Amino acid sequence: MKRRVFLTTTALTTASILAGCKREESSKYRVNINKKRKVEIKLSTSWPANFPIMGEGVNRFAKKVNLASDGEIEIKVYPKNILVPALGVFDACSSGQIDAFHSGPYYWKGKNPAFSLFGGFPFGFISNEMGAWMHFGGGLELWRELYAKYNLYPLLGGNTDVQMGGWFRKEIKSLKDLKGLKMRIPGLGGEVVAKLGVNPVLLPAGEIYTALERGTIDATEWVGPALDIRMGFYKVAKYYYSGFHEPGSVLELTFNKKFWDSLSKDHQNIITSCANELNSTMVFDFQAQNAKALKELKKKDVILKNWPDEIIKEAKKALFMVIEEQSKKSEDFKRVWKNIEPFWKANRDWTSLGLKNYLNMR
């Protein structure tokens, strides 16, 4: 009887202990599952505070990431010159001074000539073609491979769609009118017009109007009606030309790669999904606001112009001269262009058959 009581008591005690352990273990895991994993991201931009469309888009992106992550990810957006200068974001992010930035890939062609191709090129992809190449033509993989050498991981962060060719103080009637012209124009577009006799100048947004007003430059491109009207270029340069240099310019949302790799997979997925949303809605925003701003510009005695056929013909020749030169200088440029060219030609044929013919009929 004593032995039976002892065994029974021991069994009950053991069961009680095990049950307690299970409750404690269950409670422990329940706390870990529900605990928020707070992540704070310092993101600098190349734009002024609350800059229309581009800056506003990044602010919306930050809010949506916070909402989608249930408050776990907080992105603090810093306009240009708060943490780093407008064109200092690449190096600052590469070194880990900031976690991410929003800017344009063509600004970094001095680092690697191939980077300019990821931003777009004259007579190249429009926005939907660029997105097709990035997602389904190998563009993103190449971009990330080359940026990884700088400890960076890029995401698509918007697209301006077709840009205007720029504001000119004097009418451009022929090639000779371009000779010696000082023009603010970045990227491959700048290299192409340089072949036509233009002196390209790279200036950040805040310096362009003053340079144009004072005659330091003779012309400038910027983006399109929605942003250009806010810059006030029409006050000092009346001739507004349609464009060929940036038909679908990419904006980037780029992260320090070491920081990106430290994020959990679900956090990476949330950020990527919100970046894709930013990329597409920015195109829609530009379309809506450009149409509205164009109506206003027409009331301000702006003279809308197309480039003379002579200049278009020579610019196309100049493009392939630039591509050949850059391909000889840079194996990376050569490899990226080799990937782009067949995709560009195939999409050019389809876009001409579909969209171009439709627009002509409309």
Name the one residue in this structure whose structure tokens are 């704070």. Answer: 40
Residues with Cβ within 8 Å of residue 186, at least 6 apart in sequence: 104, 106, 107, 200, 202
- Looking at residue 27, its pLDDT comes to 43
* Whether residue 183 has pLDDT greater than 60: yes
Cα 33 from Cα 151, distance rounded (Å): 32
Burial class of residue 35, CB neighbours in 10 A (0-12, 13-18, 19+): exposed
* Average pLDDT value for the chain: 91
Distance CA 47, CA 205 (A): 8
Q: What is the DSSP string of 47-97?
A: S-TT-TTHHHHHHHHHHHHHHHTTTSEEEEEE-TTTSS-GGGHHHHHHHTS
pLDDT confidence tier of residue 205, bands split at 50, 70 and 90: confident
Least confident span in 17-21, 177-181, 303-307: 17-21
3-state secondary structure 90-140: HHHHHHCCCCEEEECHHHHCCCCCCHHHHHCCCCCCCHHHHHHHHHHCCHH
pLDDT tens digits for range 211-228: 999 999 999 999 999 999
Look at residue 5 and tell me whether its pLDDT is greater than 70. no
Q: Which residues, other chains included, contact 104 with Cβ-Cβ below 8 Å and sequence gap of 6+?
A: 46, 119, 186, 249, 250, 251, 252
Interacting residues of 178 by C-beta distance below 8 A, sequence separation 6+ = 172, 193, 196, 197, 198, 311
Residue 257 pLDDT more than 80? yes
pLDDT tens sequence across 111-149: 999 999 999 999 999 999 999 999 999 999 999 999 999
> Given pLDDT bands bounded at 50, 70 and 90, which one contains residue 14?
very low
Q: How far is CA 259 from the centre of its chain?
A: 19
What pLDDT is stored for residue 35 in this prediction?
A: 54
3-state secondary structure of 10: helix
Q: What is the pLDDT of residue 25?
A: 47
Q: Which pLDDT value is given to residue 34?
A: 44
Segment among 8-17, 179-188, 344-353 with least mean pLDDT: 8-17
Q: Catalogue all structural domains in the chain, each as residue range(s) with its CATH number.
A: 39-159+248-288 (3.40.190.170), 164-244+304-329 (3.40.190.10)
Backbone angles phi, psi at 248, to 5 degrees: -165, 65
Burial annotation 58-91 (CB, 10 A radius, 16+ → b, else e):
bbbbbebbbebbeebbebebbbbeebbebebbbb
Convert the pLDDT of each residue in 16-69 to its tens digit. Answer: 444 454 444 444 444 444 456 899 999 999 999 989 999 999 999 999 999 999
- C-alpha torsion sign, points 201, 203, 207, 209: positive
Least confident range of 12-21, 62-71, 74-83, 298-307? 12-21
Task: Find the angle CA(58)-CA(61)-CA(65) to the nearest 5 degrees.
Answer: 145
CA nearest neighbour of 122 among 283, 315, 325: 315
Least confident of 14-18, 195-199, 231-235, 323-327: 14-18
Contact 337, 323 (CB under 8 A): yes
> 3-state DSSP call for residue 149?
coil
